[in-house]
Structure formats: C-alpha cells, structure tokens
Amino acid sequence: MRFYVTTAIDYVNSRPHLGAAYEKVTTDVLARYHRAVGRDVLFLMGNDEHGQKIEKAARDQGLEPLAWCDRMERVFREAWDALGCSYDVFIRTTEARHRRAVQEFLVRLKANDDLYRSTYRGWYCVGCEAFKKEDELVDGRCAEHPAREPSWLEEENWYFRLTKYREPLLRHYAENPGFVRPEFRKNELLALLESGLQDISVSRAGATWGVSFPFDEASKVYVWFDALINYATGAGFPDDAASFAKWWPADVHVVGKDITRFHCIVWPAMLMAAGLPLPKVVFGHGYVNLPGGRMSKSAGGFVEPTELARRYGADALRYYLCREAAWGQDLEFSEDRLRIRINSDLANGFGNLLSRVAAMAHKYQGGAVRADVAASPLVRDARAAIARVRDAFERFDLQGAAAIAVGLAEAGNAYVDARAPWALAKDPARAAELDLVLSELAHLLLVASGLLLPFMPVQAAEATRRLSGVAPDPRSHLISLERATIPPDRPLEQGPPLFPRIEAPRPEAASG
Ligand code: MSP
C-alpha cells in the first residue's frame, strides 16, 4: 500500500520559525509511522518561491529573486535536516518541472472553459498574498498583517470559475465525511461554501516574478494558484505518468489552520476542473503560540527551532511537539514546559528505566536477560499497546500515540518499584524470579522503544539497539514489534543516559 503525504510549502521571505517546524515535524512523525507499518511512503515538503513577498525580500537584500531562493533552500533544508525530517521530495516552485505542471493545469482549465478575462478592482494583501474583500479588512487593514497597508488593484486578470464548483464541492463533502480533519474545522468551510463563492482572480498583470500563462505571456500566475499545484508536480504531474498514477491522489495534505480555505475549497475545485481526483484528507493543524500571542514571520516573536534542537536535542523537541498538545489544536509554547516534559517523560521516565534495567542486569546477573516472557502480563499488556498506538496514528492522534508509548515506561518504573529487584538479588533462591522481572522489563522497553521510533528516530533506535543488538528497520519495525525478543546470550548494552536531566536556568542573582 502507498501513502503520499505533504506539508504546506514555506514562503522563503525569512528563516523557518518554530511554527513552520511544528508542521514539518508532526508530519514527519506521521510519515515515519506509515513507513514503519510497511507502506510505501512519499513525503513531500518544499519552498514556495514566487509572489511579491519573496521578490521584495530578495530585492531588500540586493539579490535577484532566484539567487535569494537558492540561498533560502539551503537554510530551510538545513533546519529540516537538523530536526530529523525524512522528506523524500523537496519541491521548489521555481523548478522547470513545476512550471510545466502549472502551465498544463492552465491549458486544461482553459480547455474546460474554466478561465475567463475580467477586470479585478479591489484590495490585495501582500502579507497573505491574497485578494481581500472590503468586509475582510479591519479599519482598512488585513487582520493578519495590520502593519502593511493593502494595495488597491485595478487590473485585467484571468479568473477561475470557482463558483461552478460549489455544488460539486458540497457533494464531495457530503460523500466524503473524512475529507477535512479534524472534524471541527469542517463547519467553517461548509459555512463558506453555503454562503456562496466568488470566482477568483488567478493572474497578476505586470508582475515579473512568477510563472507565465502559456497563452498570455504578459500575465503571471497568482502565487497561490501556482503553489497548490506543487502537490501534483511532486507526484510526477504531468510528464511522469507512471509516478503520478502511483502516487496521486495524495492521502493527506497537512496544512496550518490559516490556509484550509485554499486547500479545502480552491484546490479541490482546481483538481475537478483539471479532471483529476481529489486528495483523500486535508488535515488542518493548529498554531504554535507564544505567551505573548501568535508567532509569525511578520508579527515577530521568533523562536529558532534549530537552536532549541541544539540545546535540548532534536528527538526530545520532536517528542514534546507531538505530546504537548493534541494535533489539530493550538500549542502554547514555553521553554519551561519543554523542560518539564523532557525531564518527566524522557529523563526520569523512559531513559531512566532503560538505564536502570541495564544496570541491574549487569549488577546482578552478568548483563543478559534469559527468562521466557510469553506468559508475562506486563509484556502482554505492552504488546497490546502496539495496536492501540497504531489506531491512534490512523486517527491522527499523535499525542495519544506518544502518551501510550511513554506510559509503558511509566508502568515499567512502577513495576521496578513494586518488584524491587534489589531485594530479589539478595536471595540466591530467587534468581529465576529476578531474571524474569528483568526480562519482562527489557521486553517492555523494547516495545516502548519501537513505538517511540517515529517520534525519536535517533534515540529510540539507539535504545532498541542497546536492548537487542539490532537497529530497527524503519520500513517494517512496527509490523514485527509484537514478536520482537531480546537475545538471551547478549548482555544489554549500557551507555550514557539517552536523555540527561535538564536543569532549570538559575534565576539571575539578586543585585544590591
Ligand atoms: N506558502 C504558503 C503555503 C502554500 S501551500 C501550497 C504559506 N506559507 S507560510 O510560510 O506562511 O506557512 C507555511 C505553513 O506554516 C502553513 O501551513 C502555516 O499554517 C504554517 N504556520 C505558520 N505559522 C505557524 C504557527 N505559528 N504555528 C503553526 N503553523 C504555522 O502559507
């Protein structure tokens, strides 16, 4: 079975912040889960490089737009690599193959009589790269970008007959109740559809930075129209027919809640017009907010994800981002909460159990664990958790999946306290019992490590290796995890703590 998953593609007017990283990391966790259950995964990320906003950012730096985008590609890829994002395709909208895809779309839409010329008179917000109706402005300003004055436009444009697709879209929503996730995001979109749509302008007259219309060189494609098509390009549209047939339609587009309208209304209508099937799910995640409010490129409040990864570890940061808030809701970011999460769940929880069990095995019985755990309720429950984690992932419940996995370590630590292996070790007649307890714990840890692998690809793999001597196979480990065992003739490996406790920064010494 194949699984095609995408994130939104980022504007490259500035460096990636924690909000953008949140989207990429959570989607990466989902992609890794699907690989781990044996699916053939295509995971697309990339950069959105056209539009006025990018052109201006480049010129402000004294660079040609493409030179700026080349530079930003490195910046973004470095950030995503530092966070362990395992994308298969990194698309750039300035690539020739993408221009080709956009132009093919336009040709199809025109042939279908879905494009026509008309005059646009109205506002445009460069911050959103979106046309704005009068009633969308607050005191004449865009609510998302109050610092920028919207521009008044009067230009001859190409229009897309979005209105023609209102009925088909409503039908699609009715027939595919899982199309928009989480469920609560659907109402807003349905309200929009029901209140009526307007045709949308899809060209910018006189713009120089963008894809040209194949039948009108003087017009450039409106940046959103261009950007949405990236998902088709990434799958091979239009020239690589075999690849496109294999990967399209996408299984999930993961996007922020601010851009669901483009993904759940405009993009499906464009696909219908081009005669292509619709993606199966659009998942609208929440925002990462700072105590002071929203984090955004224009509103300031910038948190560097790579700096957090350097200080706390990429895996720990990934775990926190998934565990702290339900996927779909907003996440209130605070470094205190990050520290608390790492200490309680990873340092004192999972990591400590791993160190304790290996240390006791070495101290009391030469390092290896040999008992048969087939009849152990502890191990049976741990193995039963695999199905619950899989179910959580299938429901996009990354938080639930993480909680179940780490909950196993919690149960393991409680079991250590209840069975007190140090007391068993004092009585040679109870050596078999001691070995059973340590074997049960080691097998529980093997399951927990396997379940944590999508969240923490480096540290959880290291834990698996220390326990079993074998690194997990990212393309199958969740299929075989239920049967995974620890070789009785190999000592558990000890090593430095996987998650050192993080001390709170000292308060500034009081002066005077
Ligand atoms: N280029 C468009 C998307 C085109 S997709 C065909 C865009 N770019 S963006 O750089 O502004 O945003 C990229 C993604 O990051 C979007 O999904 C957006 O919702 C998300 N986020 C931006 N700020 C965010 C937070 N503070 N928190 C979480 N996600 C955030 O929109």
The reply to whether ligand 1 has any atom less than 6 angstroms from the CB of 406 is no
The finding on whether 325 has its CB within 6 A of some atom of ligand 1 is no
Atom of ligand 1 nearest to the CA of 48: 1
Instruction: Give the CB-side neighbour count of residue 307, counting CA atoms within 13 A.
Output: 8
In angstroms, the CA 76 to CA 302 distance is: 15
Q: What are phi and psi of 155, to 5 degrees?
A: -145, 150
- Is 270 touching ligand 1 by the criterion CB < 6 Å? no
8 A C-beta contact, residue 460 and residue 408: no
Q: Is the CB of 401 under 6 A from ligand 1?
A: no
Q: Which pLDDT tens digits describe the chain residue by residue (512 residues)?
A: 999 999 999 999 999 999 999 999 999 999 999 999 999 999 999 999 999 999 999 999 999 999 999 999 999 999 999 999 999 999 999 999 999 999 999 999 999 999 999 998 889 999 998 889 888 899 999 988 998 899 998 989 999 999 999 999 999 999 999 999 999 999 999 999 998 899 999 999 888 999 999 999 989 999 999 999 999 999 999 999 999 999 999 999 999 999 999 999 999 999 999 999 999 999 999 999 998 766 655 555 678 999 999 999 999 999 999 999 999 999 999 999 999 999 999 999 999 999 999 999 999 999 999 999 999 999 999 999 999 999 999 999 999 999 999 999 999 999 999 999 999 999 999 999 999 999 999 999 999 999 999 999 999 999 999 999 999 999 999 999 999 999 999 999 999 999 999 988 766 544 43
CA of 16 to the centre of ligand 1 (A): 10
CA gap 132, 146 in Å, rounded: 13
Phi, psi of 213 (to 5 degrees): -70, 135
Residues 6 or more apart from 299 whose CB is under 8 A from it?
293
* Token representation of residue 370: 């040999």
How confident is the model at residue 133, as a pLDDT? 87
Q: What is the SS3 assignment for 328?
A: coil
* 22 in contact with ligand 1, CB cutoff 6 A: yes
Q: What angle do CA 124, 129, 131 make, to 5 degrees?
A: 35
Distance separating alpha carbons of residues 279 and 43, to the nearest angstrom:
14
Verify whether ligand 1 is closer than 6 Å to residue 250 (CB atom): no
Residue pair 238/100 in contact (Cβ under 8 Å)? The answer is yes
Taking CA atoms only, the protein residue closest to ligand 1 atom 23 is 19
DSSP state of 510: P
For residue 249, say if its preceding peptide bond is cis, omega within 30 degrees of 0.
yes
Determine the Cα–Cα distance for residues 99 and 120; give it in Å rounded to an integer: 24
SS3 content of the chain, % helix, strand, coil (to 5): 50, 15, 30
Give the C-alpha separation, 44 to 24, whole Å: 10
Q: What is the pLDDT of residue 148?
A: 87
pTM across the whole model = 0.96
Phi and psi at residue 303, in whole multiples of 5°? -115, 125
- How much distance in Å is there from the Cα of 472 to the middle of ligand 1? 33
**75, 259, 264, 297, best to mutate for ligand 1 pocket (most atoms within 8 Å of CB):** 259
Q: Does residue 328's CB lie within 6 angstroms of at least one atom of ligand 1? A: no
255 lines ligand 1 (CB under 6 A): yes
Q: Say what the alpha-carbon torsion angle 436, 438, 440, 446 is, to the nearest 10 degrees.
A: -150
Q: Considering only CA atoms, which residue is closest to atom 15 of ligand 1?
A: 20
Q: Best mutation site among 89, 287, 321 for ligand 1, i.e. most ligand atoms within 8 A of its Cβ?
A: 287
